[in-house]
Amino acid sequence: MMLAIQKGGPVAPSGSFNTTTSYDNLTLLKVFQLCTSSNLRTLPPLKPECIRPAPPPLTLSDIGPSPLLRNSDLSKGPRVKTRYLGFIMTFNDLAQWGDDHDLIPGGQHYRLSYAAWEKLRLVVPYPTMTAVAHYGPHRSCAFSFVVATNRTPEELARATDLEFIERVRGILGKTEPPVWHHHVNV
């Protein structure tokens, strides 16, 4: 049986509406799965060949020392710029994550990285935020999933919450610990 979707209207058997587009059942199921709010925030499964052993657990020494609290008022002490503790995800990392989770089967590199970025922004738990950071010897720009900052004492305390950091690291599929970095205005 072929089903049809009227633009802006309900699903009905084909032929019921004049301005319809016909889809098969599998396509409608995929559209429904993508549009349901409960599915937007679920982590897509890894392809079986991409399953790797879990990396060793993080320790506070892996993350390194936390910076001082941010201070922009020189009358209160030395200036300390805002720093972010985050997992750096390059375009290649994002495309690989998208391919490993089969977001766009056989998709192009750019489309995979964009789809992975959009999905990860929904899946990575709150209070994670995103930022742009420099990485590598050539100071290229990349995305960062930030788990802690030095803006407030509460945000700085998240740098010691290893359970939360491990959860984010597992979702991103990273093996290395997060790094402290500055935000880049682009």
| pLDDT value, residue 170 | 92
Q: What is the dihedral of CA 154, 126, 54, 174, to 10 degrees?
A: -90
Q: How confident is the model at residue 24 (pLDDT cuts 50, 70, 90)?
A: low
Domain coordinates of the chain in residue numbers? 3-35, 48-181
| pLDDT value, residue 10 | 45
At 80-138, the pLDDT tens digits run: 999 999 999 999 999 999 999 888 888 888 899 999 999 999 898 888 888 888 887 77
pTM, whole model, 2 decimals?
0.72
* Interval 38-51 mean pLDDT: 73
